[in-house]
């Protein structure tokens, strides 16, 4: 049995990770959740913070962690570093803001713990490669949670395309964007790894690379900014594989909601929404258009978060799967780096 701890009582850990983990508890089990110590939370500014502020911060985080323990068991550990060093866990789940992933994943790996990290793995290719090399040298799993790739709707659409129903694929279009969130959301904070590229664009590139066979490159990229924000707020890109197949991407954090795939073929076109974010139990669908003939068909419901967790278990148990994940992770961050270079960000 793999024992896993969670760094930070985040909303995604409580709402998505733990319910999915419950379905896999014959393989992996939640045993502890960590809250930041005052030193970890406030950093160098701790000396300027009042005792009342420290108390409020600790009380707030503790209350959230205790709510997790009350529902799912385990124990609360004060201090992320104490958690990753603890003998009560074998692995750690990191749902922190992106800029904090590298430091805590590195500490966890150095402590001999397998790492299941939310996307993006880090905010730079160099940092991700450092984690990959460290994990590989210690025989540890390092898994980035782009869970949507494990959803059955992805493979089902792939089968429809492979059947020749829409002929030869001429173009893929992937769009992922959502409206503004609360002003204090980490996505708008450059110090926490905010920005549309890292938050939404990464999804589009991950899916495009999958559709294009795993060897795609970014050949055009554009990032756009909005007055009043200090991070990129929307963008677009073109990716091409070795065979000349093309995917066009668009993403943003100040957009009408879209989460779509369009596959334009010589004989027909497939479109589907919620392709990147379908929750457990949701029944997605796709529309196939052949000139003026249009049909809508259901796609399978699934639990992509559970499948991502099970993939993490496979990484822990199989050196071959670990190596596959290292390669996928490196290529994903390489695509992000290519985008940054072309878009000059």
Residues taking part in catalysis: 119
What HEC string does 34-77 produce? Answer: EECCHHHHHHHHHHHCCHHHHHHHHHHHHHHHHHHHHHHCCEEE
Determine how many CB atoms are found less than 10 A away from the CB of residue 245: 18
The tokens of 16 are what? Answer: 């998505």
Tokens of 150: 């494990």
CA atoms lying within 13 Å on the CB side of residue 134:
21
Q: Is 329 helix (H, G, I), strand (E, B) or coil?
A: helix
List, in order, residues 6 or more apart from 190 with CB less than 8 Å away: 230, 231
Classify each residue of 213-226 as buried b or exposed e, where b means 16 or more C-beta atoms within 10 Å of its C-beta.
eeebebeebbbeee
Instruction: Tell which residue, 158, 154, 93, has the closest CA to residue 277.
Output: 154
Kindly report the backbone phi and psi dihedral angles of residue 295, in degrees, each rounded to the nearest multiple of 5, phi listed first: -130, 145
Instruction: Read off the tokens for 159.
Output: 């089968």
Q: What are phi and psi of 141, to 5 degrees?
A: -80, 140
Please give the torsion angle defined by the CA atoms of residues 92, 95, 98 and 104, in that order, rounded to the nearest 10 degrees: -30
Compute how many other C-beta atoms are within 10 angstroms of the C-beta atom of residue 126.
11
Residue 3 near residue 29 (C-beta atoms within 8 A): yes
Specify the 3-state DSSP secondary structure of 328. helix
């Amino acid at each position: 049995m793999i024992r896993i701890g969670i760094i930070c009582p985040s909303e995604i850990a409580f709402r998505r990770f733990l319910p999915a983990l419950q379905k896999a508890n014959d393989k992996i089990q939640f045993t502890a959740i960590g809250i930041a110590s005052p030193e970890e939370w406030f950093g160098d500014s701790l000396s300027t913070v009042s005792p009342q502020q420290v108390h409020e911060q600790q009380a707030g985080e503790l209350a959230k962690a205790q709510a997790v323990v009350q529902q799912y068991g385990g124990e609360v550990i004060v201090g992320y570093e104490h958690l990753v060093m603890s003998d009560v866990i074998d692995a750690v789940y990191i749902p922190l803001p992106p800029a904090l992933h590298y430091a805590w994943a590195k500490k966890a790996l150095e402590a001999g713990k397998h790492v299941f990290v939310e996307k993006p793995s880090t905010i730079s290719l160099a940092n991700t490669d450092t984690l990959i090399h460290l994990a590989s040298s210690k025989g540890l799993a390092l898994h980035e949670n782009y869970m949507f790739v494990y959803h059955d709707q992805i493979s089902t659409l792939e089968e429809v395309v492979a059947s020749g129903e829409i002929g030869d694929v001429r173009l893929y279009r992937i769009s992922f964007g959502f409206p503004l969130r609360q002003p204090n959301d980490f996505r708008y904070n450059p110090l926490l790894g905010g920005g549309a590229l890292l938050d939404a664009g990464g999804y589009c590139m991950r899916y495009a690379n999958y559709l294009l066979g795993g060897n795609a490159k970014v050949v055009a990229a554009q990032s756009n900014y909005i007055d009043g924000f200090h991070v990129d707020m929307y963008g677009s890109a073109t990716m091409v594989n070795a065979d000349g197949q093309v995917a066009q991407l668009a993403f943003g954090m100040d957009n009408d909601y879209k989460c779509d795939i369009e596959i334009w073929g010589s004989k027909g076109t497939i479109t589907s929404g919620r392709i990147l974010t379908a929750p457990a139990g949701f029944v997605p669908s796709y529309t196939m258009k052949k000139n003026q003939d249009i049909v809508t068909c259901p796609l399978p419901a699934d639990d992509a978060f559970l499948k991502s967790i099970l993939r993490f278990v496979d990484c822990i148990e199989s050196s071959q799967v670990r190596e596959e994940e290292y390669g996928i992770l490196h290529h994903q961050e390489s695509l992000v780096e290519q985008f940054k270079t072309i878009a000059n960000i």
